[in-house]
Amino acid sequence: MPDKTVDSGGKRYNLHELDGIYTISKDGSRIGSARSEEDALSVIKSDSGGSDVHVGGAPCFPSSAKVLTPNGEWSIVCFSPGDVLLSFDPVQKRLVERVVTKSGKHPRRRIWNVTFRTNRPALRGTRGHTVLSTRGWCPLYRLRSNDFLVGADGGLFEVEKVFPEVQKEHVYSLITAQEHNFVVDGIVVHNFTWLRGSRTLLHRMFLDGLRIANLGGLVPTAS
């Protein structure tokens, strides 16, 4: 397995696997080892004191990303906890208003570029950011030519190419309540990549309510 970067609690770790042993290092120094990636991530989480663990770097977007809100598109850099954006309800196939519960700015990361066969702008984000496709939720680096991504209105956009760019940029992340997705440059994207299903369930059952209560307890009505 090639080395992975892991972000947790504002700290960056390196995870290397050899013959079934996962070695964890931070700032060039070894801090421990484990016999599974899940156990290794638990070691990292314990060391960092963080509530979230992002494998391969936090799933994020550059400052050029535009996020859909009830009042049109906003730059991703403009969001703060308590702001309202539009999420995609995958059951009812419609947009609903949801609260941003957490936002963040992260160090420079390599940006991946997804181009489409239709005449629409490319989607740019970090390699691990998860997007909604007809194959289900999929990180950018696993997309293939001829995959179809789901748009804000449920429409489909065919992928032409997926490739890493040369430059690195500061990137930004959002966490929302309930559906835990939002719309970036017309494409439905998820908050989480690693352990996406279980983390979404955990947030919906416990953390969403706590964060919303800290923001004043107001939950937008579905649009």
Model-level pTM?
Answer: 0.74
Residues 73 and 166 in one domain: yes
When the pLDDT of each residue in the chain is averaged and rounded to a whole number, the result is: 88
Asked whether residue 2 carries a pLDDT value surpassing 50, the answer given is: no
Asked whether residue 56 carries a pLDDT value surpassing 70, the answer given is: no
Q: Taking the C-alpha atoms of 114, 154, 202 and 16 in order, what is their torsion angle to the nearest 10 degrees? A: -20
Give whole-number Cα distances, 207 to 45, 201, 211, in Å. Answer: 17, 9, 6
Asked whether residue 23 carries a pLDDT value surpassing 80, the answer given is: yes
Residue 223 included in any domain: no
Residue 51 included in any domain: yes
Residues 128 and 70 in one domain: yes
Please count the structural domains in the chain. Answer: 2
Query: What is the radius of gyration, based on Cα positions, of the chain?
Result: 18
Residues 41 and 130 in one domain: no
Residue 221 included in any domain: no
Helix (H, G, I), strand (E, B) or coil at 7: strand
Asked whether residue 51 carries a pLDDT value surpassing 70, the answer given is: no
- Report pLDDT for 107: 77
The per-type count for the chain, helices as H runs and strands as E runs, is: 3, 17
Q: Residue 157 carries which side chain, given as an amino acid letter? A: F
**Category of 32 on φ-ψ map: left (φ > 0), alpha (ψ -120 to 50) or beta:** left
- CA quadruple 137, 56, 211, 83: dihedral positive or negative? negative
Confidence of residue 11 (pLDDT cuts 50, 70, 90): confident
Per-residue model confidence as pLDDT tens digits over 178-192: 999 999 999 999 998
> Domain limits at 39?
4-55
Per-residue model confidence as pLDDT tens digits over 68-106: 999 999 999 999 999 999 999 988 999 999 999 999 888
Residues 16 and 65 in one domain: no
Residue 207 included in any domain: yes
Q: How many CB atoms lie within 10 A of CB 77?
A: 15
**What percent of the chain is predicted at pLDDT more than 70?**
91
CA diameter of the chain: 52
Interatomic CA distance for residues 5 and 14, integer angstroms: 5
